[in-house]
């Protein structure tokens, strides 16, 4: 069965990538400055206490043995303990991750809702004013540093115009029940419309900031693959059967452009999670990005590496999902005729 | 009765005029071949009927049973496309949408005209079977890449004729196919046209294709028509030197094998 083989191959590849990620994380633990034994024993520990911690952590073992321990620990969900919160890193991340996923989901929504139609229109009106305008807007979004754009939006839209809250995830004194960890959803579940709209208002600016640089990329990707589709014979023939323009553009051209588009969107989801590092700090939001920044500033080695691992796993999972989605939208793939992943068009950074 | 009447048609791309005042008519139910070398303007002329190329600007007159198409509104053109004039392209590989089932594509001309899905499907399967696709009802939900070139071209023909147009424009419909399949597809096109009383405007550079297929032949060169004649007359007694040259360039079994075919340069020299 072609489909089963394809899925098995993708799963296996995901496993290989995950293994590589763990190797990388382990190398970072070993080579980065900072002594884990000292960190574990505490700042004021005596030399004897540090030696005891070293013994306990197995740091005197050969590197391969250490790696084996590290790997089995990671597979059991033990990413080590944070020296700052004195909790398991995974538990810390589980607390903050939903907030980041909320931010990424909102940014992705903005990315798709603005970027895809922008790319379609630019392709349809290529070379015309609208195409040029779209290119300029996209370029501005792509070249502006994220933190700077965040500050600018805060200054203009929040501070001057008062349209959005300046920072945070809820207004002063507002609280939501801790159900899913995703504040907008928890606010919705609490049944208080005012609370929900407050949570939503707090989400918009950071999501917009996060999405800005990605919109340009997806718009360019959609534009270039739409140009290819719109010039194809099957589009001309669809017109020749009397199909209307909307049908031609959406059902024929865009439907074909979905394949490269989904590849890029999948990658973008992973990148976005990385960029939350900048956005969450700027907007004082909770999340894995903010957690990582704190961990770096406090020399909290296991927390930093744990965050990297988790972001990496999210990346692997989204790519796996994209591979499966492609199976659905690209019939040629099901018969093993098309390349497993179409080469990404030029607009990819 | 004249179905398609083209009068003094000029087609330009920007400043460059590529078709310089063509007159051509296709009678209802007749098969007319438009012949010429690459770049003679035959495809541009034929495609001007449906006006699918937005970069081309037209002047003159193209009328379909008295309805003027040059300068017609987009909505008028859309009602002509598919239901009155069908189109088949050269390459069946690129003519079909790779991510849609062939059934969806065959049904589309009917569905956009408000025919119920179930009826469209039945008609589509019946037509596909008529066009010689075995196991049509099972293969209806297959994708284009699962078909061979000849079968794909049958699918393209099905899409072009399902809404029962009065005229089919076939732009080099067999050029991309291998020789054995070429003859099958041409015969099929001929049969379907006769059955449905559908006129065909066949564009080709292959005079061998023309002989058994067309009633009339129109020879084009450098964007102008050089000769129009019934097919038997054209082959027996070509008038224009260019036509004679073209016929001389066709390889034949009954000719002295030691004699070379006429080259394009020689045709150019004679035709001036």
Residue A344 falls inside a structural domain: no
Whether the pLDDT of residue A149 is over 50: the answer is: yes
Cβ contact (<8 Å) for A234 and B109?
no
Please name every residue paired with B11 in a beta bridge, in sequence order, or none if there are none.
B19, B58
A327 interfacial to chain B (CB closer than 8 Å)? no
Residue A62 pLDDT > 60: yes
Answer whether residue B49 shows pLDDT above 70.
Answer: yes
Question: What are the beta bridge partners of residue B85?
Answer: B81, B167
Binary contact (A256, B98; C-beta < 8 A): yes
Q: Which domain holds residue A43?
A: 2-75
| B211 and B155 both lie in a single domain | no
Q: What is the pLDDT of residues B118-150, one digit of tens each?
A: 999 999 999 999 898 889 999 999 999 999 888
- Domain boundary (A75, A108, A140) is at A75
- Between B267 and A302, where is the model more confident? A302
Claim to verify: residue A133 and residue A249 sit in the same structural domain: yes
Per-residue pLDDT at B8 = 92
Please check whether residue B208 lies inside any domain of the structure: yes
Task: Flag if B108 and A330 touch (Cβ within 8 Å).
Answer: no
Contacts of A232 in chain B (CB under 8 A): 94
Do A30 and A120 belong together in one domain? no
Contacts of B101 in chain A (CB under 8 A): 331
Examine the pLDDT at A338 and tell me if it is beyond 60. Answer: no
Mean pLDDT of chain B: 88
| A340 within some domain | no
**Cβ contacts of A332 on chain B, cutoff 8 Å:** 98, 143, 145
Residue A36 sits in the same domain as residue A60: yes
Interface of B with A in 48-77 (CB under 8 A): 50, 52
Query: Are A222 and A300 found together in one domain?
Result: yes
> Would you call A81 helix, strand, or coil by DSSP?
strand
Cα distance from A281 to chain B (closest Cα, Å)? 43
- Residue A33 sits in the same domain as residue A147: no
Do B30 and B147 share a structural domain? no
A chain contacts of residue B152, beta-carbon cutoff 8 Å: none
> 3-state secondary structure string, chain B?
CEEEEEEEEEEEECCEEEEEEEEEEEECCCEEEEECCCCCCHHHHHHCCCCCCCCEEEEEEEEECCEECCCCCHHHHHHHECCCEEEECCCHHHHCCCCCCHHHHHHHHHHCCCCCHHHHHHHHHHHHHHCCCCCHHHHCCCCHHHCCHHHHHHHHHHHHHCCCCCEEEEECCCCCCCHHHHHHHHHHHHHHHHHHCCEEEEEECCHHHHHCCCCEEEEEECCEEEEEEEHHHHHHCCCCHHHHHHHHCCCCCCCCCCCCCCCHHHHHHHHC
Question: Are A131 and A239 members of one domain?
Answer: yes
Number of separate domains in chain B: 2
Mean pLDDT, residues A154-170 taken together:
82
Q: Is residue A276 part of a domain?
A: yes
In chain B, residues with a C-beta closer than 8 Å to the C-beta of A242 are: 78-83, 109, 112-113, 163
CB of B81 within 8 Å of a chain A CB? The answer is yes
Q: Is residue A339 part of a domain?
A: no
Q: Is the dihedral of CA A33, A35, A36, A41 positive or negative?
A: negative
In a domain, A347, yes or no: no
B139 CB within 8 Å of a chain A CB = no
Q: Both B150 and B207 in a single domain?
A: no
Sign of CA dihedral B74, B79, B85, B87: positive
Same domain (yes/no): B194, B232 = yes
What pLDDT score does A345 carry?
46
Q: Check whether residue B173 and residue B216 sit in a common domain.
A: yes
Q: What are A51's two structure tokens?
A: 């030696």
Nearest CA distance, B87 vs chain A (angstrom) = 6
- For residues B74 and B172, membership in a common domain is answered with yes
Q: Do B146 and A335 touch (CB under 8 A)?
A: yes
Cβ-defined contact of A242 to B86 (cutoff 8 Å): no
Mean pLDDT of A195-210: 89
Q: Please give the residue range of the domain that contains residue B99.
A: 91-164
| Domain C-terminal end among B136, B164, B192 | B164
Give residue A110's pLDDT: 95
Q: In chain B, which residue's Cα lies nearest the Cα of A246?
A: B112
Same domain, A246 and A299: yes
Domain end (from A75, A103, A132) = A75
Proportion of chain A above pLDDT 90, given as a percent: 28
Task: Please check whether residue A82 is in contact with residue A300, taking contact to mean a CB–CB distance below 8 angstroms.
Answer: yes
Q: Which residues of B touch A243 (CB under 8 A)?
A: 82, 108-109, 112
Same structural domain for residues A38 and A168? no
Residues B225-265 pLDDT 10s: 988 999 888 888 888 888 887 887 777 777 777 777 777 67
Please indicate, yes or no, if residue A218 is contained in any of the structural domains.
yes
The complex's ipTM? 0.85
B12 found inside a domain? yes
pLDDT of A227 above 90 = yes
Q: B4 to chain A, minimum CA–CA distance in Å? A: 17
User: B103 and B6 in one domain?
Assistant: no
Contact A242 B109 (CB under 8 A): yes
pLDDT of residue A344: 45
pLDDT at A102: 92
Q: Over chain A, what is the mean pLDDT?
A: 85
Q: Is B113 on the interface with A (CB under 8 A)?
A: yes
Please report whether residue B248 resides in a domain: no
CA distance A184 to B28: 67
**Which pLDDT value is given to residue B210?**
86
Yes or no, beta carbons of B52 and A240 under 8 Å apart: yes
Q: What is the CATH number of the domain that holds B47?
A: 3.40.50.300
Find the range with the poorest average confidence among A167-181, A213-227, B154-168.
A167-181
pLDDT at A80: 82
Domain-located, residue B259: no
Q: Could you tell me if B156 lies within 8 Å of chain A, comparing CB atoms? A: yes
Residues B1 and B80 in one domain: yes
Q: Using one digit for the tens of pLDDT, what is the confidence trace for B91-126? A: 888 899 999 999 999 999 999 998 999 999 999 999
In a domain, A144, yes or no: yes
Same domain (yes/no): B154, B196: no
**Same domain as B125, residue B11:** no
Instruction: Select the residue from A127, A228, A234, A245 to test the B interface by mutation, using most B Cβ atoms within 10 A.
Output: A234
Residue A186 in domain? yes
Count: domains in chain A: 2
User: Which residue from B52, B91, B99 is facing A239, i.e. has the nearest CB?
Assistant: B52
Same domain, A111 and A38: no
Residues B76 and B203 in one domain: yes
Query: B121, B146, B164 — which closes off a domain?
Result: B164
B87 touches chain A (CB under 8 A): yes
């Amino acid at each position: 069965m072609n489909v089963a083989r394809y899925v098995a191959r993708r799963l296996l590849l995901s496993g290989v990538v995950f293994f590589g990620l763990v190797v990388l994380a382990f190398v970072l633990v070993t080579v980065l400055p900072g002594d884990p034994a000292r960190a574990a024993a505490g700042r004021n520990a005596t030399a004897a206490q540090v030696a005891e911690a070293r013994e306990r952590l197995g740091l005197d073992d050969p590197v391969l043995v250490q790696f084996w321990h590290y790997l089995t620990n990671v597979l059991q969900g033990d990413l080590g303990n944070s020296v700052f919160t004195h909790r398991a890193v995974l538990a810390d991340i589980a607390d903050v991750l939903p907030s980041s996923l909320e931010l990424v989901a909102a940014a992705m929504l903005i990315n798709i809702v603005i970027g895809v139609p922008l790319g379609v229109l630019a392709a349809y009106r290529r070379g015309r004013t609208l195409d040029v305008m779209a290119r300029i807007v996209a370029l501005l979004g792509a070249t502006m540093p994220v933190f700077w754009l965040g500050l600018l939006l805060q200054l203009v839209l929040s501070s001057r115009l008062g349209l959005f809250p300046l920072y945070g995830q809820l207004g002063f004194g507002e609280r939501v029940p801790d159900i899913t960890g995703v504040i907008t959803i928890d606010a919705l579940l609490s049944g208080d419309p005012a609370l929900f709209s407050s949570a939503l208002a707090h989400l918009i600016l950071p999501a917009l900031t996060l999405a800005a640089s990605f919109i340009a990329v997806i718009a360019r990707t959609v534009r270039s693959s739409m140009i290819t589709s719109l010039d194809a014979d099957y589009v001309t023939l669809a017109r020749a059967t009397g199909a209307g323009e909307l049908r031609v553009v959406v059902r024929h051209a865009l439907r074909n452009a979905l394949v490269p588009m989904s590849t890029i969107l999948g990658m973008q989801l992973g990148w976005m999670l990385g960029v939350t590092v900048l956005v969450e700090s700027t907007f004082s939001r909770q999340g894995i990005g903010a957690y990582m920044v704190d961990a770096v500033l406090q020399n909290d080695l296991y927390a930093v590496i744990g965050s990297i691992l988790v972001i990496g796993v999210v990346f692997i999972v989204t790519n796996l999902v994209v591979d499966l989605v492609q199976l659905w939208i690209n019939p040629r793939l099901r018969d093993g005729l098309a390349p497993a992943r179409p080469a990404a068009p030029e607009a990819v950074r | 009765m004249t179905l398609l009447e083209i009068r003094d048609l000029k087609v330009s791309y920007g400043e460059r005029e590529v078709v310089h005042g063509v007159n051509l008519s296709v009678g209802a139910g007749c098969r007319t071949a438009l012949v010429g070398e690459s770049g003679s303007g035959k495809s541009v002329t034929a495609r001007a009927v449906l006006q699918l190329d937005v970069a081309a600007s037209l002047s003159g007159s193209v009328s379909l049973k008295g309805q003027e198409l040059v300068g017609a509104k987009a909505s008028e053109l859309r009602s002509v496309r598919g239901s009155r004039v069908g189109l088949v392209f050269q390459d069946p590989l690129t003519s079909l949408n790779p991510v849609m089932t062939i059934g969806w594509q065959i049904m589309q001309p009917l569905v956009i005209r408000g025919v119920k899905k179930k009826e469209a499907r039945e008609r589509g399967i019946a037509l596909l079977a008529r066009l010689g696709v075995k196991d049509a009802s099972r293969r209806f939900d297959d994708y284009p890449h699962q078909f061979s070139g000849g079968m794909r071209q049958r699918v393209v023909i099905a899409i072009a004729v399902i809404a029962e147009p009065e005229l089919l424009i076939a732009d080099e419909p067999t050029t991309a196919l291998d020789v054995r399949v070429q003859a099958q597809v041409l015969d099929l096109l001929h049969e379907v046209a006769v059955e449905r009383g559908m006129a065909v405007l066949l564009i080709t550079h292959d005079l061998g294709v023309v002989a058994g297929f067309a009633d009339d032949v129109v020879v084009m060169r450098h964007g102008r028509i050089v000769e129009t004649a019934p097919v038997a007359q054209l082959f027996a007694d070509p008038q224009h030197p260019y036509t004679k040259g073209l016929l001389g360039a066709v390889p034949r079994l009954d000719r002295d094998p030691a004699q070379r075919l006429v080259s394009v340069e020689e045709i150019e020299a004679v035709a001036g």
